[in-house]
Structure 1
Amino acid sequence: MSRPSLPPPELRAYLKELVRRTSAVCGDRLLSVLAVGSLALGDYRHGRSDVDVTVVVDPAPPRADLAPLAPLAATLAHPALPCPAAGLELVVYPADFAARPSGEAGYLLDLNTGPSLPERVSDDPADASDFWYVIDRSVAHQAGLPLYGAPAREVIAAPDRTTVLAALRASVREHADGDGHLADNRVLNGCRATVHCRTGHWFAKRRAGEIVAASEPAFEPLVAEALRSFERPRPEAAVLPAGDVREFLAWVASRVEEAAEGAGV
């Protein structure tokens, strides 16, 4: 799948308004707004995918006084700004943090909102699991799609390989538990982790699924069913065999452990 040069038509008006509101709140502090996740990797699925956005500000307000960012969460929250996707996951980073490799969450603001996402607003990175943010910044450095301001590689440092592999280990462990994750997404997230361990490159989940299905015949039926399910809206996702999903994710965990041991994690 080729990397997009523009967001998909269903999102363009929404993202334009999101950038306008972000600029209105942040003013001269706003350095960059980037589309990441499935948008950046060219595999946004309307009705299924979230909109993932990374914002970088400079200078950052002091941690003791993040009041300047409070209006941002309010003005972007669904339905104050109706989200046409399954949800919006928006993270604001200070420029000095984003510009250096890190294994920490490090955000100033983390907003989850939208019709299919539980509402969440946090200004304390201790509230979150670091690994999600490490993976997102790694994807952003590789493929972030600029919506405003500086390009991704000028503002987001790539976490080093050992840090990314540690994050993948934690990600696979969480998906193996299954809480709050659809089965097809758990399987395809495992495929993405496996392919990243092999290549050091981020692929969209569907493309990673195709690669694993072609290279691992034992898991091809499960991955193929996950791919078919991923084409549907979230409420219509298929129920995959729980034992097969557990077996597959245990295999993925072993691949991640092998890569981590090879990298000295």
Structure 2
Amino acid sequence: MQDEVFTAVQRHIGAICTWRPLGQGCSNGLYRSQNDGGARVLRINAGAEAVPGVDRIREARLLERLQGFDWAPRIQGCDPAAGWLLMDWHGDSPAAPLAGDQRQQLLQAVRDWQVLEDAGAAVDYPALYDHYRLELRGLPLGKALLQLIEALETNWESLPDVGHRLTHHDLHPGNLCWMDGRLVVVDWEYAAIGNPWFDAAALAKHFEASLVELSSLPAFADLDADTLAEGLGRACWMFDALGCLWYWARGLSGSGYDMAWLMRETLRLLKTSEPAG
């Protein structure tokens, strides 16, 4: 399949390329090419079993909608049926912690996409939870994993209601690129109209966003400080719980984690399934 994708992409751009693997990404295949047309990144999509919750058609339509925003990846081609996405090379991931200008660009990007209209389809969280129930039944700690899903649903009902908005669902430093003073957010395969608390949790956990910074986002502008703090606590627990379930469902290959960590994390999450508000 890989050679077929390379051939299809080269036909699309009208150029012969040499593709070199990128050492990042633990699900999709990522490759970089440098030729007369400029640097490009090719993603060869992983199978559906490796990326639960992903809808390639939804992603393709969303990326088309995002074109023109400074923080959006510049797409050169996309064929969900054939399993590939081609975009400009946008630079390496910035060093942690983000510099001041990078941080402000990230927060502005989230502000922009939270108010974006006509952003496509919504994610079906109940269907995702049911998918995990089927996938995880019978695994080690299977009963505990089902309890974890139930706790996720309970915490979902307790989150302060801020409505649904475009949500990236996978914000972390590895999904940011920095080049020539421009920050670009990539990897939109999980993005959909969804619960913005998930992006808030990612900003807090991966980028140490403060309550003041989060209160500047449109989704949370009307919340008082106590409600925002309580919601963030629950959202951060849910963020970790969904990540844990994801690793159980797709495996640990390429993650740097081992099964002992995953089992400990599962039990930790069950013990803290009702964060203090």
TM-score, normalising length from structure 2?
0.30
Higher helix share: 1
Larger Rg: 2
Structure-1-length-normalised TM-score: 0.31
